[in-house]
Structure 1
């Protein structure tokens, strides 16, 4: 079990010293520091902290407001932590999900959050009804005028929300992407994921590729995931490739040819990225029988076998 600390301040000018001291005193060996507004759910360092956690670990904060500013966001983060079998603890609040009392406190907060959401919905509906009765039409006047600044602000808000939604679901689908990429195409990986981590709609190749590339750009996923998928040409094409490599340098060993094929990112017969000398030899023999390797090359190979004997 490891204690993973998380600290946050709202601006670059603020210091995290007091929070760091509390977390270190509590025994946190690894601490992630964030400089972000509490109203923003786009928290790259928080995502890294959750991704770092393993079963039995505890995410520790000095106060709840350092983790989230709303109950719904707090519960969302704790749900992500518990999804990996870990726990959450706030040093100054009665919340420690590794204990029965902490779990009870969390249930009380969950009920309060649901009540809060219901009240907000009712107030919103009442406000819209009152505005409609007075003849007011909803909408942003600046957006209706196609004001560039308003459009840019809306785009930034949507981008932050996209990133927040992405971070909230990565624990569900990113491990499977790591297991399948880049050996498989985006289409195959998306089909394998189905609705995993995206219950509203199934994954598509484009949407999955965009999501993984965004995580890579934010430093939350490995660049190797977006490398081109390995190619598996038809068997006849593989024979031509092997014959071409051998023809360019008849003295190449089987292992050297295997290394060339791996550099070209061509899949082995069984679909993996690594080639064995035996697989190369079997295909090279087929290429010889098909007449793709010249007799001169074949004689040289036989001469080498004689010399070794």
Structure 2
């Protein structure tokens, strides 16, 4: 049996991220600060507003991070402008065992005070997630009360369901045959007919 060599564990890295929202701006100040802070690698997005959450440089950076690494930015707002996005991102880093540093704001989770801050951010992130969930559920209840369909789009129209029910009741066609004619699963027809009866 062939023995394979176990992959050597990658040493933790300090990885920097720079962003400027205007194409005319330069990242030099941020890059200099990150290099001085000891970053091994620096990712960036040029001319991308902080409100945009999907960014190529940031996405590549987040995918590359491993447990023990440290994400370093010049300032917290370089990661993003949305509070909930920042909180969720930092909470995700914490769960992955990735430290975080914001140079100009003195945030450093490799220290005891920084880890305490991480814990507080996690509480805020959870609170914000619960608030969003509650607002979503309240919106869905309000929509249902107004008679609007909530959830995935229906595969069958009300007319198709009524017609299917009539055909099954009159024994004109089997559920399987009706399902084939509408291009859906027989279970979809069965459920739709049952819901219509309620």
TM-score range, shorter chain: 0.5 to 0.7
Q: 1:9–1:121: structure 2 CA closer, same or farther, 3 Å change rule? A: same
Q: CA deviation at 1:117?
A: 0.7
User: How many pairs does the alignment contain?
Assistant: 137
After the TM superposition, which residues 102-181 of structure 1 pair with which residues of structure 2 at under 5 Å, given as runs? Answer: 102-137=114-149
Q: Are positions 1:8 and 2:19 aligned together?
A: yes
Equivalent residues of 1:95, 1:106 under 8 A apart: no
Q: 1:134–1:78: structure 2 CA closer, same or farther, 3 Å change rule? A: same
* 1:109-151 C-alpha deviation (Å, 9 max, x unpaired): 0001101111111112112222333344558xxxxxxxxxxxx
Q: CA deviation at 1:30?
A: 3.3
**C-alpha RMSD of the superposition:** 3.4
User: In the alignment, which residue of structure 2 is the partner of 1:282?
Assistant: none
Q: CA deviation at 1:54?
A: 7.0
Q: 1:126–1:21: structure 2 CA closer, same or farther, 3 Å change rule? A: same
Higher relative strand content: 2
Q: Are positions 1:17 and 2:28 aligned together?
A: yes
Higher relative helix content: 1
Q: 1:106–1:55: structure 2 CA closer, same or farther, 3 Å change rule? A: closer
Q: 1:118–1:51: structure 2 CA closer, same or farther, 3 Å change rule? A: closer
Q: CA deviation at 1:52?
A: 6.0
**Which has more radius of gyration?**
1
TM-score (norm 2): 0.53
Gaps of 5+ in 2: 1-11, 152-198
After the TM superposition, which residues 244-283 of structure 1 pair with which residues of structure 2 at under 5 Å, given as runs? Answer: none
How far apart are the structure 2 equivalents of 1:119 and 1:19?
34
Q: Are positions 1:76 and 2:92 aligned together?
A: yes
How far apart are the structure 2 equivalents of 1:5 and 1:63?
11
Q: 1:135–1:13: structure 2 CA closer, same or farther, 3 Å change rule? A: farther
How far apart are the structure 1 equivalents of 2:42 and 2:75?
14
User: In the alignment, which residue of structure 2 is the partner of 1:65?
Assistant: 77
Q: 103-112 vs 93-102, which deviates more?
A: 93-102
How far apart are the structure 2 equivalents of 1:110 and 1:51?
20
Q: 1:47–1:129: structure 2 CA closer, same or farther, 3 Å change rule? A: closer
* 3-state SS of 1:92 partner: helix
